[in-house]
Amino acid sequence: MRYLLVAALAVMLALTVAVIVGDDYEKPLEAYNRGDYATAFREMKPLAEQGDDFAQAFVGFLYEQGQGVPRDYAEAARWYRKAAEQGNSDGQYNLGTLYDTGQGVVQDDAEAAKWYRKAADQGDASGQYNLGLMYDTGQGVPRDYAEAVRWYREAAEQGYAPAQNNLGTMYTEGHGVPRDYDEAMKWFGKAAEQGNADARGNLGRMVYR
């Protein structure tokens, strides 16, 4: 599931440029957005040490990326865990990706699934997708196509293109749902509209089926 780490990073980047409000975050986020990662780290680290869960997840992200600090996956995992244990969905998801890939922690599919589930239960689309993929492939959980469909759908309905593509595949294959090519085309189409290359290929094959 290495590909899915990209989604985790996108989630964290979205947070840095979007909706977080509060004077405490303003200076480190402004620094991050102008590429001054050292200042971002220096300003955010004290907040993380004070127990702020967003700051903890952000510091973990900086360690994971090696931005403003030498890359250190073990430190990334440590800070993600602090955030995750406070219920921060980004910390939960990103800790799951580290267990998924074995970076900074011993690779453990069951632990990855556990943390993806916690994020998924909070409505995190990336967590929902990754949990669906775990059920789809039987990694960390028993293979269960119906559960895979459930979690793909949760993410797909939030507009998450990889989940839309995979949900279309489930309809094409009849895995976890009755085979339905119209539904498959619908979901491939939604993902393709967002530029998902796999969905575009799948949609093309459906058109010429």
* pLDDT, tens only, 39-56: 999 999 999 999 999 999
Is residue 11 predicted with pLDDT exceeding 50?
A: no
pLDDT digits (tens, 9 = 90+) for 150-197: 999 999 999 999 999 999 999 999 999 999 999 999 999 999 999 999
Where in the sequence is the domain holding 5, given as residue range(s)? 1-124
Position 124, amino acid: D
Position 56, amino acid: Q
pTM: 0.88
Three-class DSSP category at 152:
helix
d(CA 47, CA 60): 13
Tell me, yes or no, whether 68 and 148 share the same domain: no
Domain boundary among 94, 124, 154: 124
Tell me, yes or no, whether 104 and 9 share the same domain: yes
Q: Is 25 exposed, middle or buried (0-12, 13-18, 19+ CB in 10 A)?
A: buried
Tell me, yes or no, whether 9 and 83 share the same domain: yes
Is 61 part of a structural domain of the chain? yes
Tell me, yes or no, whether 150 and 120 share the same domain: no
Number of domains in the chain: 2
Mean pLDDT of the chain: 90
Q: What is the CATH number of the domain that holds 153?
A: 1.25.40.10
Is residue 18 predicted with pLDDT exceeding 50?
A: no
State residue 17's pLDDT score.
44
CB 151 within 8 A of CB 135: yes
Is 203 part of a structural domain of the chain? yes
State residue 144's pLDDT score.
98
Q: Is 23 exposed, middle or buried (0-12, 13-18, 19+ CB in 10 A)?
A: exposed
Tell me, yes or no, whether 154 and 203 share the same domain: yes
Is residue 24 predicted with pLDDT exceeding 90?
A: no
Tell me, yes or no, whether 119 and 177 share the same domain: no
Is 31 part of a structural domain of the chain? yes
Position 92, amino acid: Q
pLDDT digits (tens, 9 = 90+) for 71-90: 999 999 999 999 999 999 99
Tell me, yes or no, whether 50 and 103 share the same domain: yes
Is 79 part of a structural domain of the chain? yes
Is 186 part of a structural domain of the chain? yes
Q: Which residue has the tokens 């403003």?
A: 68
Tell me how far apart the terminal alpha carbons of the chain are, to the nearest angstrom.
29
